[in-house]
Amino acid sequence: MDPAAKLRKMGFHVHQFTEYHFRVNDEFDYYLPRGKWHDLLTGERGRKPLDQIPFFVKQRLSERRMHPADRDTFIEGLKQIG
């Protein structure tokens, strides 16, 4: 099963921009086929094997909800988004 299907099954909203660019919950992008990712709120980037993407996204987004950013970090994240 592809990462988008797994994420949707986990309850995430996944938008497909192109055949290789996906956005999860308007917060997190990942790119096929190399598993590159970009956290839109923190600006962090990296790479994960495709089979790890769904669980990585789930963990990352759930940690964010458990540990909200302080006000300044949140505002900086919004500025990066535009």
The rounded distance, in Å, linking the Cα atoms of 13 and 24 is 6
Percent of the chain with pLDDT over 90: 67
Q: What is the mean pLDDT of residues 23-47?
A: 94
Q: For residue 41, what pLDDT is reported? A: 87
Domain ranges in the chain? 3-81
pLDDT: is 9 or 76 the higher one?
9
pLDDT: is 61 or 74 the higher one?
61
Region of residue 55 (left: phi > 0; alpha: psi -120 to 50; beta: else): alpha
Inform me whether the pLDDT recorded for 66 exceeds 60: no
Cα 15 vs. chain centroid, distance in angstroms? 11
The rounded distance, in Å, linking the Cα atoms of 37 and 79 is 19
Rounded to 5 degrees, what angle do the CA atoms 49, 46, 18 make? 75
